[in-house]
Amino acid sequence: MNLLGLDRAGLVDFMRQMSEPAFRAQQIFPWMHQRGVTNFAAMTNIGKALAERLGERARVSLPEIVTEHLSMDGTRKWVLRLEDGNAIETVFIPEVDRNTLCISSQVGCALDCAFCATAQEGFNRNLTAAEIVGQVWLAEHTLRQRQDGAGRVITNVVFMGMGEPLLNLKEVGPAIRIILDDLGYGLSRRRVTVSTAGVVPHIDRLHEEAPVSLAVSLHAPDDALRTTLVPLNKKYPIAELLEACRRYVARDPRRRITFEYAMLAGVNDSPDQARALARLLRTVPAKINLIPFNPFPGTRFERSTDSVIDAFRDILLASGIVTMTRRTRGDSIRAACGQLAGVVKERTRRVVPIHVS
Ligand code: SAH
């Protein structure tokens, strides 16, 4: 049992199974997540006997860092090897007012979005909660050590790496709770963002699991075009998706959904499409993130020019929607949005059925 993936309730259960009182979970949890200790013997307040018993039954184990790439803009990408030989990627993006960690939720992805490098890798499997939290642990404690232990490093976590988080809610749920936990990484729910291509029924479930910030990969203002870019749209068309978005923020009037929109030259970037997008989002509390398309080998798409992106943004702004163009970060080390590939063993491109229940 890898304790890194147990949320507090899960760790309390585990302690009960070992006939230990619940407060043991309160002791062990911060040792792992806040102090970065993986060795039970070093957890000084739990006693030697318990440390030994834990050592027989459990472990705190992390993915292995294979390589670390540093981009000129300060973005870091880690390639992490998992126990089964698959590799995933995690990206750290420092900014003036925040440090964002972009984490993966699956090995590869089954959704096959036309413009995404991860799709080309196919799908292998879901990550476990321990592997998801392991990415946060590695980034936080590796960087904290380099800063001579001067305080917390990661201020924001986004599920925008490899995979579709809402097709792995069973593991993403506990991972989020650990990231939010005051004895864990202590981030507020506004600082944790789950990005989805639009798995509609699981948008409601995410709200029940943990109502964190939601980003939706929209990329087109109409169903015909969106289905060619995001095949999942066939199953959950735009109207249903926006309905789920409205429900997500309904009980929280200050909140908005972030809509992501990759700018693809000649595909989805015309002024008419900007106006259609503005009409579409009139009835949803929305902000829009325009993402200049990041190319990767073999893609048939091109990035819209800066002037086209500016014109598109200005139309949205004029219609009253908060719109930002996401600055491209980590491009030089293939760490930008949609460029994460990892190493996916036994690729099963497109043959994996998407089960949504
Ligand atoms: N599966 C989730 C999480 C991935 S998040 C989702 O679809 O939302 C990664 C974001 O980058 C998504 O908005 C995705 O659509 C976008 N993206 C994918 N490929 C891209 C590319 N080549 N250039 C720019 N953005 C891309």
Q: Domain for residue 233, yes or no?
A: yes
Regarding whether 18 and 127 lie in a shared domain, the answer is: no
43 vs 52: CA distance, rounded Å: 11
> Is the pTM here over 0.85, yes or no?
yes
Regarding whether 124 and 72 lie in a shared domain, the answer is: yes
220 vs 276: CA distance, rounded Å: 9
For residues 134 and 179, the answer to whether their CB atoms sit within 8 Å is: no
CA-atom Rg of the chain in angstroms: 21
Report residue 352's pLDDT band, with 50, 70 and 90 as the boundaries: very low
Please name which of 265, 281, 270 lies closest in space to residue 323, comparing C-alpha atoms. 281
| The pLDDT of residue 198 is above 50 | yes
| The pLDDT of residue 356 is above 80 | no
pLDDT at residue 191 in the model: 97
Q: CA 259, 253, 239, 339: dihedral to nearest 10 degrees?
A: 20
Regarding whether 71 and 49 lie in a shared domain, the answer is: no
Residue ID of nearest Cα to ligand 1 atom 5: 160
Report residue 172's pLDDT band, with 50, 70 and 90 as the boundaries: very high
pLDDT at residue 176 in the model: 98
Regarding whether 214 and 123 lie in a shared domain, the answer is: yes
Q: Domain for residue 348, yes or no?
A: no
- Boundary of a domain, candidates 57, 83, 100: 57
Q: Is 135 exposed, middle or buried (0-12, 13-18, 19+ CB in 10 A)?
A: buried
Residue % of the chain over a pLDDT of 90:
84
Q: What is the pLDDT of residues 252-274, one digit of tens each?
A: 878 999 999 999 999 999 999 99
Regarding whether 299 and 169 lie in a shared domain, the answer is: yes
Q: What is the pLDDT of residues 128-156, one digit of tens each?
A: 999 999 999 999 999 998 887 678 999 99
pLDDT at residue 317 in the model: 98
Regarding whether 238 and 141 lie in a shared domain, the answer is: yes
Residue ID of nearest Cα to ligand 1 atom 20: 338
Task: Report how far ligand 1's centroid is from the alpha carbon of 172 (Å).
Answer: 18
Regarding whether 312 and 164 lie in a shared domain, the answer is: yes
Helix/strand/coil (H/E/C) assignment for every residue in 152-211: CCCCEEEECCCCCHHHCHHHHHHHHHHHHCCCCCCCCHHHEEEEECCCHHHHHHHHHHCC
Q: Is the CB of 260 under 6 A from ligand 1?
A: yes
Phi, psi dihedral angles at 261 (to 5 degrees): -145, 105
Q: What is the pLDDT of residues 77-129, one digit of tens each?
A: 999 999 999 999 999 999 999 999 999 999 999 999 999 988 988 999 999 99
Regarding whether 165 and 38 lie in a shared domain, the answer is: no
Residue ID of nearest Cα to ligand 1 atom 9: 160
Q: Is the CB of 301 under 6 A from ligand 1?
A: no
Q: Give the pLDDT mean for 51-59.
A: 97
Owning domain of residue 201? 64-333
Q: What is the pLDDT of residues 224-254, one digit of tens each?
A: 999 999 999 999 999 999 999 999 999 787 8
| The pLDDT of residue 54 is above 90 | yes
Please give the number of the atom of ligand 1 that sits closest to the Cα of 295.
22
Q: What is the pLDDT of residues 298-320, one digit of tens each?
A: 999 999 999 999 999 999 999 99
Regarding whether 291 and 173 lie in a shared domain, the answer is: yes
Task: Report how far ligand 1's centroid is from the alpha carbon of 141 (Å).
Answer: 27
Regarding whether 217 and 148 lie in a shared domain, the answer is: yes
Handedness of CA 158, 161, 163, 164 (dihedral sign): positive
Please give the number of the atom of ligand 1 that sits closest to the Cα of 159.
3
